[in-house]
Amino acid sequence: MADVVLKNLSKRFGDTQALADLDLSIRDGEFVVLLGPTGAGKTTTLRLIAGLERPDGGRIEIGGRNVAGEAPADRDVAFVFQQYSLYPHMTVYDNLAFPLRAPVRKLANDEVDRRVREIARMVRIDHKLENRSTRLSGGEMQRVAIGRALVRRPAIYLMDEPLSSLDAKLRAELRLELKRIQKELGSTLLYVTHDQVEAMTMADRIGIVAEGRLLQVGTPREIYGDPASLHVAARLGQPHINLLPTDLLPGANPPPGTKTIGARTEHLDIVLDQNANAQIDWIEHLGDQNHLHIRVRDHKLVTLADPYFAIRPGDRISLTLRDPLYFDASGQRLG
Amino acid sequence: MSSVTSAHSVVEPSPTSKRIAGAIVMLYALITLIPLAWIFLTSIKSPPDSISYPPKVVFTPTLEGYCNLLTTRTRQTPEYIASLPAPTSTCDEVTRKRNMVIAGPSNFLPRFANSLVIAFGSTFLAVSLGTLAAYGFSRFRVPLAEDLLFFILSTRMMPPIAVAIPIYLMYRELGLSDTALGMILLYTAVNVSLAVWLLKGFINEIPREYEEAAMIDGYTRLQAFWKVVLPQATTGIAATAIFCLIFAWNEYAFAALLTSGEAQTAPPFIPTIIGEGGQDWPAVAAGTTIFLIPILVFTILLRKQLLRGITFGAVRK
């Protein structure tokens, strides 16, 4: 395990700037998640670190050494791909053993065997070691793929949306397992996803990426509660943050230069009141909670409500802001 | 991909239309098999039976054709033959009935061996070179890749025999005329374009993530190619190998022009049998029958891959 430092990393593909001046340092034993939409440059970052692509500019250090000239095999990283993760012509056992049998490592057979079985137990696939890798369910395949990375102790694990092709239940399960294993091993891990739940639940720190730029890095709480810009604020929170003009609702205390107010559920106080400033349009019942669709003049807001909150479409409510987020004309956070 | 398959399966053919289609295919298969059956039956007829008209359907099978194929014979007087000790083999016996004795083995087996060496050798070379070239075109940014691929394909756009004269002259200068090496190189040159194009398609279908994973796992690109790409390309390699082998095995024109002795292959040799002692159709048919066997065995062994190769592009997993 080691620190990984990226400095001014840039990469172009034809006319597309995939990555622009990215700076990020990942501490030993840290779980960092890069969160962003498709095409933001997340995967490119992983591929640059792994050595599958050459950067146009910038520096990559793994454990203090510049790895620019090193082949992927020499960089001491492990990679979990989003898809096509297992070698289809091999058994589960051979897939897990494949990195250990690499000529550069020259491990003895019984050492390979010991580690394969240990990891198979850890990712709970030890009952299917002799199966063809193509004869596994999606969840089992991804567990083997993660296992094939974990079987080594590289400087850093790179994971490219490893759970995105799975169904929701499995994803939730593997999310927990992955976090448990990472804690157990004390691994350094850079994980890429567009799923904010994965980012919020697993990360020690989250990096928000958009259009090849790293917008903000911080703990999940910081990113959620203290976003540096409108874009970051819009990445997190379900339902989506409400963006309002400054004069729409009372209770705000906008600093000079404020153009937009961002209000999530926790920034909105609702009181039933016939002479109020807002009206309930309709309600989505999700079971454990309700989504309230609220109209204020010609603006629409969505917020969460407790299912026991007695409210019906058409009800008039009084809507007040409580410590919302303020953004200037360029989308930067104020105050 | 799934939408493509479902689009095909929207209208499931009815049992009746399936039966009709099956009957047509069977009929077609029977028609194409008639010449093969004719050849085999001729090979076990006696020479008089083979040229009788109308053709004999019921006849006494004999190995005479095969004996004549594998031996050379000299004509002797009946008195001389009667004075010989008892025949030691079936071939001795049938030959003596025609007032002849076996003088020695014919050239068929060496020619057949030439065919095996040249066809399998050139197939191996064409597929090996083709695999490497196809991998390169598939995975690397090759300058002018499109033009190079078109150039490679263009070598198939004329009949190979169009370049027979220049090749004949070149080979004479280089001392490659009538050598197995010369024929292997020639067939490799003709086949490698087919191999590159076929295999490029197959290798394109193998996701590059596999090699990337292997390279991160501690392997060099060459090791990853060997351990991860090749095992997954076996279907394509097998299909390509069959196509190359069929061409090299059946090729007649170059073989007739460039080989006459040492390196002569079976196709130009078989017709020469007919000249030895009249119209010996059973011997020719016997040569053809034996000539068919290797390709038949090879094709049966790899028929799944061959089917995949023929329907290439139409079938998706």
Convert the pLDDT of each residue in A39-80 to its tens digit.
Answer: 888 999 999 999 999 999 999 999 888 998 889 999 999 999
Cβ-defined contact of A99 to B210 (cutoff 8 Å): no
What distance in Å separates residue B140's CA from the closest CA in chain A? 13
Q: Do A83 and B219 touch (CB under 8 A)?
A: no
SS3 A34: strand
CA distance A81 to chain B (A): 7
* Closest residue of chain B to A151, computed from CA coordinates: B217
Closest chain A C-alpha to B231 CA, distance in angstroms = 7
Query: Is the bond preceding A55 in cis, omega lying within 30 degrees of 0?
Result: no
Q: Which residues of A touch B217 (CB under 8 A)?
A: 73, 78, 98-99, 102, 148, 152
**Rounded to the nearest 10 degrees, how much is the dihedral formed by the CA atoms of B190, B196, B202, B208?**
160
Contacts 24+ apart (CB under 8 A), A8-12: A8/A57, A8/A58, A8/A59, A9/A45, A9/A48, A9/A55, A9/A57, A9/A58, A9/A59, A9/A60, A10/A55, A10/A56, A10/A57, A10/A58, A11/A41, A11/A44, A11/A48, A11/A53, A11/A55, A11/A56, A11/A212, A12/A56
Q: How far is A101 from chain B (nearest CA, A)?
A: 9
For residue B218, which residues of chain A lie inside 8 Å, CB to CB? 73, 99, 102-105
Regarding whether B71 and B24 lie in a shared domain, the answer is no
Query: Which residues in chain A touch residue B232, judged by CB atoms under 8 angstroms apart?
Result: 88-89
Say which CATH topology domain A4-235 has.
Answer: Rossmann fold (3.40.50)
Question: Residue B28, SS3?
Answer: helix
CA distance B199 to chain A (A): 19
Encoded tokens for A188 = 């350094």
Chain-chain contact of B213 with A104 (C-beta, under 8 angstroms): no
Cβ contact, residue pair A87, B228, below 8 Å: yes
Contact B219 A103 (CB under 8 A): yes
Residue B177 lies in a domain: yes
Query: Is the Cα dihedral B280, B281, B284, B290 positive or negative?
Result: negative
How far, in Å, are B167, B265, B270 from residue B111 at the CA level? 22, 5, 9
Residues B213, A79: C-beta atoms closer than 8 Å: yes
Cβ atoms A268, A321 nearer than 8 A:
yes
Q: Which amino acid is at A161?
A: E
- Which among B207, B210, B220 has CB closest to A73? B220
Per-residue model confidence (pLDDT) at position B1: 37
Contact list, A71 vs chain B (CB under 8 Å)? 215, 220
Q: Give kind and range of the element (H or E) at residue B13.
A: none
**How far is B3 from chain A, CA to nearest CA, in Å?**
18
- State the amino acid at position A32 in one-letter form: V
| Residue linked to tokens 């050492």 | A111
A14 contacts chain B (CB < 8 A) = no
Cα separation, B86 vs A40, in Å, equals 92
List, for chain B, all residue ranges whose pLDDT scores fall below the cut of 50. 1-7, 313-317
Q: Are residues B193 and B284 in the same domain?
A: yes
Number of cross-chain residue pairs from A and B with Cβ atoms under 8 Å apart: 58
| Three-class SS state of B52 | coil
Sequential DSSP letters for B239-298: HHHHHHHHHHHH--HHHHHH-SSTT--HHHHGGGGGGTTS--HHHHHHHHHHHHHHHHHH
Residue contact A81–B228, C-beta within 8 A = no
Q: Please answer yes or no on whether B218 and A79 come within 8 Å at the CB atom.
A: no
Give the 3-state secondary structure of residue A217: strand
In-domain check, residue B3: no
With beta carbons less than 8 A apart as the criterion, state whether A78 and A149 touch: yes
Pairing label, strands A31-35, A189-193: parallel
Phi-psi region of B218 (alpha: psi -120 to 50; beta: other; left: phi over 0): left
The answer to whether position B194 is within a domain reads yes
Residue B212 CA to residue B203 CA, distance in Å, equals 14
The ranges of chain A with pLDDT < 50 are: none
Q: Which of A79, A142, A160 to mutate to test the interface with B (most CBs of B within 10 A)?
A: A79
Q: Which of B209, B218, B223 is closest, CB to CB, to A81?
A: B209
CA distance B137 to A149: 30
Cα-based distances in Å from A260 to A254, A331, B244? 9, 8, 70
Query: Which residues of B have a CB under 8 Å from any CB of A?
Result: 207, 209-210, 212-220, 223, 228, 231-232
* β A268-272/A316-321 pair status: antiparallel
Residues of chain A with Cβ-Cβ distance to B223 below 8 Å are: 102-103
Domain housing B25: 14-43
Q: Are residues B113 and B183 in the same domain?
A: yes
Upstream peptide bond of B159 is cis (omega within 30 degrees of 0): no
How far is residue A117's CA from residue A96's CA, in Å, rounded to a whole number? 9
Q: Which of residues 53-72 of A touch B (CB under 8 A)?
A: 71-72
Spell out the alpha helix ranges (H) of chain B. 2-9, 15-43, 47-50, 64-70, 78-82, 90-97, 108-139, 145-154, 164-174, 180-204, 209-216, 221-224, 230-232, 234-250, 253-258, 266-269, 281-301, 303-310
Q: What is the pLDDT of residues B247-304, one digit of tens each?
A: 999 999 899 989 888 899 999 999 888 865 678 899 999 999 999 999 999 888 888 7
Residue written as token pair 């974990």: A150
Residues A208/A231, Cβ–Cβ less than 8 Å:
yes
For residues A60 and A66, the answer to whether their CB atoms sit within 8 Å is yes
Name the residue facing A102 among B210, B219, B231 (closest C-beta). Answer: B219
Task: Verify that B246 and B147 share a domain, yes or no.
Answer: yes
Q: Which of B209, B215, B228 sits opposite A73 (nearest CB)?
A: B215
Same domain, yes or no: B299 and B169: yes
- Of A143, A165, A182, the C-alpha closest to A82 is A165
Cβ separation B219–A81 shorter than 8 A: no
Query: What does the alpha-carbon distance between residue B161 and residue B203 come to, in Å, rounded to a whole number?
Result: 31
Chain B residues with CB-CB distance to A84 below 8 A = 207, 209-210
Chain B contacts of A89, Cβ < 8 Å?
231-232
CATH classification at residue B139: 1.10.3720.10
Q: Are strands A77-80 and A156-160 parallel, antiparallel or unpaired?
A: parallel
The answer, for A104 touching chain B at a CB cutoff of 8 Å, is yes
Q: What is the pLDDT of residue B108?
A: 93
The minimal CB distance from B231 to the residues A89, A105, A152 is found for: A89
A 114-143 residues inside an 8 A Cβ radius of B: none
User: How many whole angstroms separate alpha carbon B273 and alpha carbon A119?
Assistant: 69
| C-alpha span between A109 and A101 (Å, rounded) | 8
By C-alpha distance, which of A146, A136, A89, A152 is closest to A127? A136
Chain B nearest C-alpha distance from A98 (Å): 7
For B47-67, the pLDDT digits (tens) are 888 888 888 888 889 998 999
Q: Give contacts of A 150-169 with B, CB under 8 A.
A: 152
Q: Would you list the domain boundaries of chain A?
A: 4-235, 242-334
Alpha carbon distance A100, B313 (integer Å): 36
Query: Does one domain contain both B180 and B289?
Result: yes
CB A279 within 8 A of CB A295: yes
Could you give the 3-state DSSP secondary structure of residue A321? strand
CA B215-B216-B218 angle, to 5 degrees, is 70
Structural domain tally of chain B? 3
Smallest CA–CA distance from B205 into chain A, residue:
A84
* Distance in Å, alpha carbon of B218 to nearest chain A alpha carbon: 4
Are A87 and B210 within 8 A, CB to CB? yes
pLDDT at B299: 86
Is A103's CB within 8 Å of B214's CB?
A: no
CA distances from B56 to B38, B52, B94, B278 (A): 11, 7, 20, 20
What pLDDT score does B245 carry?
A: 93
Substitution target from A81, A83, A91, A116 for chain B, most B beta carbons within 10 A: A81
Report CA-CA distances (Å) from B120 to A72, B117, B180, B243.
38, 6, 11, 12
CATH H-level superfamily of A242-334: Nucleic acid-binding proteins (2.40.50.140)
Strand A299-305: give its sheet, edge to edge. A268-272, A316-321, A278-285, A290-296, A299-305
Angle of the B234-250 helix axis to the B108-139 helix axis, nearest 10: 140
Residues B20 and B83 in one domain: no
Q: Residue A112, Cα to own-chain centre: how many angstroms?
A: 32
What is residue B277's predicted lDDT score, i.e. its pLDDT?
A: 60
